[in-house]
Amino acid sequence: MIFAPETRYHSISSDDYAQFKPNQLGFLKKTVEDKGRYKSIHGIAVISVISLLNKAIGIVENTEEYTEYLLLNTFGDKSSYNKVPPGTIRIFNPNLVCFFNGRTWRKLK
């Protein structure tokens, strides 16, 4: 008789996540210098968070929404930009990371 492996269901709450914006890249790099590259943030090493954030920024860097964000962040009133910046990532668990492309949230693969 062959038994199937035990199936485990893990609930993922949309309220429980770690969020990183593109302007936090410097802070993350400083964390690597101070605490090491394997410091865990929400179950993922800081060096992996940096890699995921760079990947998300690379996807959105040539979009109109990201250009608008950079212009307002550089030359405008920083408090006037009340939207989630494109390239922002949310880590729900180590297997589910999403990024904001300026319009919707997408799974980062």
Contacts within 8 Å (CB) and 24+ apart, 66-74: 66/102, 69/22, 69/102, 73/23
Provide the percentage of residues in the chain whose pLDDT is more than 70: 87
The per-residue pLDDT for range 30-44, each reduced to its tens digit, is 999 999 989 888 788
- Residue 13: pLDDT band (50, 70, 90) is low
- Among residues 17, 27, 20, which one has the least CA distance to residue 84? 20
- Select the more confidently predicted residue: 81 or 24: 24
- As a whole number, mean pLDDT of residues 11-38 equals 87
- Select the more confidently predicted residue: 49 or 73: 49
- Among residues 30, 39, 41, which one has the least CA distance to residue 93? 41
The per-residue pLDDT for range 52-76, each reduced to its tens digit, is 999 999 999 999 999 988 888 888 8
- As a whole number, mean pLDDT of residues 84-94 equals 92
Stated pTM of the model = 0.81
